[in-house]
């Protein structure tokens, strides 16, 4: 390779043996390259294998030709110790055939090392539930590996233990840190009937829990699976790159052949023509092109996982780049979802205790935040823990309220529209009171049968980071829109508080779907952010559905992106990450193509006649590996969170 003088004329034979060994070790490249040609989908392995094979076969043919010409075989040469240099190694390309694979293997090793960093978050998650735990099985305590835990096991958790599965606390008390799963650094207290998740850590206390989900069914395993699937699934822009590569390989092969013919026609030696032709094949190998998108996607999804954001597919990142409008649910998304009753007034002389009992009868089976708030208020203000009996035939009407039968009469609790639909009269003074509450940003509920008997004012608090998230959306050119089932007045107050100019109040779940459909018909790319069952249709309809991780299972299953932390800022982070990812992908594709535009002419010998610059195939292989490494390194910039 360095053109140093050989002590004897055995150099070519030594090179032949060493190069043959390297090619055999790397025979997988030939297998993939040939399969690419057979399947009419030649790729980077095709170029590599053609280049290395051409260098090796041409050099081998020179040895055979020299043996035939001189009629002197290897053993005769050893005996004669001919140092004439007639078989000097400078005309051979064995070193190029060997170095092509050596440098490419080195480059792939460096790429693999770099790409491994993009999966750090997944590796960290995978270790969260590893260890040993104590379980009660068959009436006796056993210490087993966490992987061996089964559904139905009773697990003992002490301070410092990792929780190995999802389950329900049956006995004891403890404080659990879920930071790795939800990003919430403050430990959560758990006791009887509370849920715990695999990957959490007990920081204090002692409790027992029954395993509900184990192994691949746990929340932690679902997170890991989602991140892995997103990392390997091809984005649309990658499919474009693959199609380009399909045309690229035949074109480069044609350029290599033309290069070979031109140099021969110009009267240059066969060795020079072979050198230039092989260099073209090797330097143009589209490794960088193939890495441009997956390296960026892996880095981005690893970044997201490390920030407690789950992205279902790489396509979501590309879609996030296009988003110009976000429709945001109010309760539990913009607000904490921790609702309290601030006002309770009976109508027309109705006994408030009796009205509250009827309200609790209707709300008895509901887990809605409003129902929780009413129960807490009834206990705190009136000492009523529960109704004497539950209403019959209870039915929840999405976006309206609840209806049921109490003592043979139909009662309802819900918003003003619900009562108007049921022809239930609301006194004028109560309507005025409701209007005043709504102007304070409160949600108003009415309860009654033939007439209104109770009016309730409920207040939710805005999440600390909601205002910053809204401001960031606007800063990056995205229009935020508020969509809530609360009244127009309440929606207006909330929108003004957060600086949102466009809002929709008093809407049903189907209305959110229709709003998104309308925005899309205007040419907008819309993201929907929500947390409840009523948001599921809109999450599916939106170009990008983003669910708060603490929301309902249906909402989470309907979304493209899941925010494990209860933070709207993470939604802004996801959209910005999508924009950053597409920017890096475009940069990578540009440099991959630009590299070939510059490299192919140089490899073909464009600088040889004027400046005497000639790239050997081995140097071309080194340049190609460096281009791939550059692309991966550029992609690793996505590991840093910008928000």
- In angstroms, how far is the first alpha carbon of the chain from the final one? 50
How would you classify residue 477: left for phi > 0, otherwise alpha for psi between -120 and 50, otherwise beta?
left
Q: Tell which wins on pLDDT, 396 or 83.
A: 396
Q: How many helices (H) and strands (E) does the chain have?
A: 24, 20
Q: CB atoms < 10 A from the CB of 390, how many?
A: 15
Which of 106, 84, 86, 102 shows the shortest CA–CA distance to 94? Answer: 102
What number of residues does the chain have?
Answer: 643
CB 482 within 8 Å of CB 503? yes
Q: What is the rounded CA–CA span in Å between residue 63 and residue 88?
A: 11
pLDDT tens digits along 21-70: 999 998 888 888 888 778 877 766 776 787 778 778 878 887 887 777 76
Instruction: Write down the pLDDT at residue 75.
Output: 47
Give residue 79's pLDDT band: very low, low, confident or very high (50, 70, 90): very low
Number of C-beta neighbours around residue 462 at 10 A: 16
Of these residues, 329, 535, 543, 566, which one is catalytic? 329
Residue 7's CB: how many other CB atoms inside 10 A?
9
The edge-to-edge listing of strands for the beta sheet with 409-414 is 340-346, 452-459, 443-448, 409-414, 401-406, 392-397
- Going by the DSSP 8-state scheme, the letter that residue 330 receives in this structure is I
Question: How wide is the angle at C-alpha 176 spanned by C-alphas 561 and 463, nearest 5°?
Answer: 50
**If you write DSSP's letter for every residue of 102-154 in order, what string do you get?**
HHHHHHHHHHHHHHHHHTHHHHHHHTTT-SEEEEEETTEEEEEEGGG--TT-E
Sequence-distant contacts of 535-540: CB under 8 A, at least 24 apart = 535/329, 535/509, 536/509, 537/509, 537/510, 537/512, 537/513, 538/327, 538/483, 538/509, 538/512, 538/513
Secondary structure class of 391 (helix, strand, coil): coil
Distances (CA, A) of 119 to 229, 298, 317, 345, 582: 12, 7, 17, 57, 19
Split at pLDDT 50, 70, 90, the class of 248 is: confident
pLDDT for res 132: 86
Task: Name the CA radius of gyration of the chain, rounded.
Answer: 35
State how far the Cα of 499 lies from the Cα of 330, in Å rounded to an integer: 14
pLDDT digits (tens, 9 = 90+) for 262-283: 999 999 988 788 888 888 877 7
List the one residue out of 29, 545, 583 whose CA is nearest residue 300: 583
Strands, E assignment, 460-504: 479-483, 502-504
d(CA 609, CA 605): 8
Contact 218, 224 (CB under 8 A): no
Q: If you average pLDDT over each of 335-339, 354-358, 362-366, which comes out highest?
A: 354-358
Confidence of residue 103 (pLDDT cuts 50, 70, 90): low
**Least-confidence region, from 52-56, 91-95, 239-243, 303-307:** 239-243
Whether the CB-CB separation of 350 and 453 falls below 8 Å is answered with yes
pLDDT tens-digit map of 184-221 = 555 778 888 888 988 888 888 899 999 999 988 887 77
Give the mean model confidence (pLDDT) for residues 518-544: 85
Phi, psi of 505 (to 5 degrees): -120, 160
Cα 437 from Cα 489, distance rounded (Å):
9
At residue 623 the predicted structure's pLDDT band, cuts being 50, 70 and 90, is: confident
Rounded Cα–Cα distance for residues 221 and 227 (Å): 10
Across residues 371-397, what is the average pLDDT? 84
Cα separation, 624 vs 45, in Å, equals: 13
- Provide the whole-model pTM: 0.60
- State phi, psi for 180 to the nearest 5 degrees: -65, -25
Helix/strand/coil percent split, the chain, to 5: 55, 20, 25
d(CA 168, CA 621): 58
Q: How confident is the model at residue 6, as a pLDDT? A: 56
**How many whole angstroms from its chain centre is CA 49?**
35
At 351, give phi and psi (nearest 5°): -65, 125
Domains of the chain: 130-216 (2.70.150.10), 314-335+463-579 (3.40.50.1000), 340-459 (3.40.1110.10)
Three-class SS string for 2-16?
A: CCCCCCCCCHHHHHH
Contact 242, 41 (CB under 8 A): no
pLDDT per position as a tens digit, 447-474: 998 889 999 998 888 888 899 999 999 9
**pLDDT at position 86, please?**
40
Q: 605's torsion region: left (phi>0), alpha (psi -120 to 50) or beta?
A: left
Mean of pLDDT over the chain: 80
Highest mean pLDDT among 74-83, 138-147, 165-174, 238-247 belongs to 165-174
The span from the CA of 120 to the CA of 113, in Å, is 11
Whole-number Å distance between alpha carbons of 372 and 51: 72
Helix (H, G, I), strand (E, B), or coil: what is residue 199? Answer: coil
User: What is the model's pLDDT at position 85?
Assistant: 39
Rounded CA separation 512/329 (Å): 9
523: left (phi over 0), alpha (psi -120 to 50) or beta: left
pLDDT above 50 (res 254):
yes
Across 82-86, 222-226, 510-514, 639-643, least confident range: 82-86
pLDDT number for residue 84: 40
Active site residue 348: no
What confidence tens digit (pLDDT) does each residue in 567-615 have? 888 999 999 998 898 898 888 888 877 877 888 898 899 888 888 888 7
Nearest by Cα to 543 from 242, 327, 252, 276: 327
């Amino acid at each position: 390779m360095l053109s140093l003088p050989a002590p004897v004329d055995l150099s070519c034979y030594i090179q032949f043996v060493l190069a043959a060994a390297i090619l055999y070790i790397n025979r997988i490249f030939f297998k993939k390259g040939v399969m690419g040609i057979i399947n009419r989908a030649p790729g980077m392995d095709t170029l590599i294998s053609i280049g290395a094979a051409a260098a090796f076969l041409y050099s081998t043919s020179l040895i055979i030709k020299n043996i035939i010409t001189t009629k002197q075989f290897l053993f005769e040469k050893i005996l004669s110790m001919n140092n004439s240099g007639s078989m000097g190694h400078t005309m051979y390309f064995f070193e190029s055939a060997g170095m092509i694979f050596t440098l490419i293997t080195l480059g792939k090793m460096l790429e693999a090392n770099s790409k491994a960093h993009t999966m750090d978050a997944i590796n960290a998650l995978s270790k969260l539930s590893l260890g040993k735990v104590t379980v009660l099985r068959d009436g006796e305590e056993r210490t087993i590996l966490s992987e061996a835990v089964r559904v139905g096991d009773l697990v003992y958790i002490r301070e410092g233990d990792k929780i190995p599965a999802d389950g329900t606390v049956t006995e004891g008390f403890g404080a659990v840190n879920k930071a790795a799963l939800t990003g919430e650094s403050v430990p959560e207290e758990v006791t009887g009937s509370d849920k715990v998740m695999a990957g959490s850590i007990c920081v204090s206390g002692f409790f027992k829990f029954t395993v509900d989900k184990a192994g691949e069914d746990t929340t932690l395993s679902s997170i890991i699976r989602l991140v892995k699937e997103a990392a390997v699934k091809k984005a649309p822009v990658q499919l474009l790159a693959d199609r380009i590569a399909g045309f690229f390989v035949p074109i480069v092969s044609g350029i290599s052949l033309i290069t070979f013919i031109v140099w021969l026609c110009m009267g240059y030696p066969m060795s020079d023509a072979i050198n230039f032709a092989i260099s073209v094949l090797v330097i143009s190998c589209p490794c960088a092109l193939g890495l441009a998108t997956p390296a960026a996607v892996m880095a981005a999804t690893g970044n997201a996982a490390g920030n407690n954001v789950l992205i279902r597919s790489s396509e979501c990142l590309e879609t996030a780049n296009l988003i110009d409008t976000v429709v945001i649910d109010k309760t539990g998304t913009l607000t904490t979802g921790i609702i309290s009753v601030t006002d309770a007034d009976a109508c027309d002389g109705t006994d408030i205790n009796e009205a509250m009992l009827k309200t609790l009868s209707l709300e008895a089976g509901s887990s809605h935040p409003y129902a929780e708030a009413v129960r807490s208020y009834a206990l705190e203000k009136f000492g009523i823990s529960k109704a004497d009996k539950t209403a019959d035939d209870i039915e929840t009407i999405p976006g309206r309220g609840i209806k049921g039968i109490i003592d043979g009469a139909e009662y309802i609790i819900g918003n003003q529209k619900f009562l108007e639909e049921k022809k239930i009269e609301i006194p004028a003074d109560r309507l005025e009171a409701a209007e005043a509450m709504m102007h304070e940003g409160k949600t108003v509920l009415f309860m009654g049968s033939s007439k209104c008997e109770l009016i309730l004012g409920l207040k939710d608090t805005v999440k600390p980071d909601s205002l910053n998230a809204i401001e960031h959306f606007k800063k990056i050119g995205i229009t935020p829109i508020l969509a809530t089932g609360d009244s127009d007045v309440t929606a207006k107050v909330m929108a003004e508080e957060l600086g949102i100019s466009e809002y929709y109040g008093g809407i049903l779940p189907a209305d959110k779907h229709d709003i998104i459909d309308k925005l899309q018909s205007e040419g907008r790319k819309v993201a929907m952010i929500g947390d409840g069952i009523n948001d599921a249709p809109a999450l599916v309809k939106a170009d990008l559905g983003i669910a708060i991780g603490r929301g309902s299972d249906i909402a989470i299953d309907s979304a493209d992106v899941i925010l494990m932390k209860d933070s709207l800022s993470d939604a802004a982070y996801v959209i910005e990450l999508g924009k950053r990812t597409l920017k890096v992908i475009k940069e990578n594709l540009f440099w991959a193509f630009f590299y070939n535009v510059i490299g192919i002419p140089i490899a073909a010998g464009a600088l040889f006649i004027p400046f005497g610059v000639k790239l050997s195939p081995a140097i071309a292989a080194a340049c190609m590996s460096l281009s791939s490494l550059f692309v991966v390194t550029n992609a690793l910039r996505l590991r840093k969170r910008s928000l």
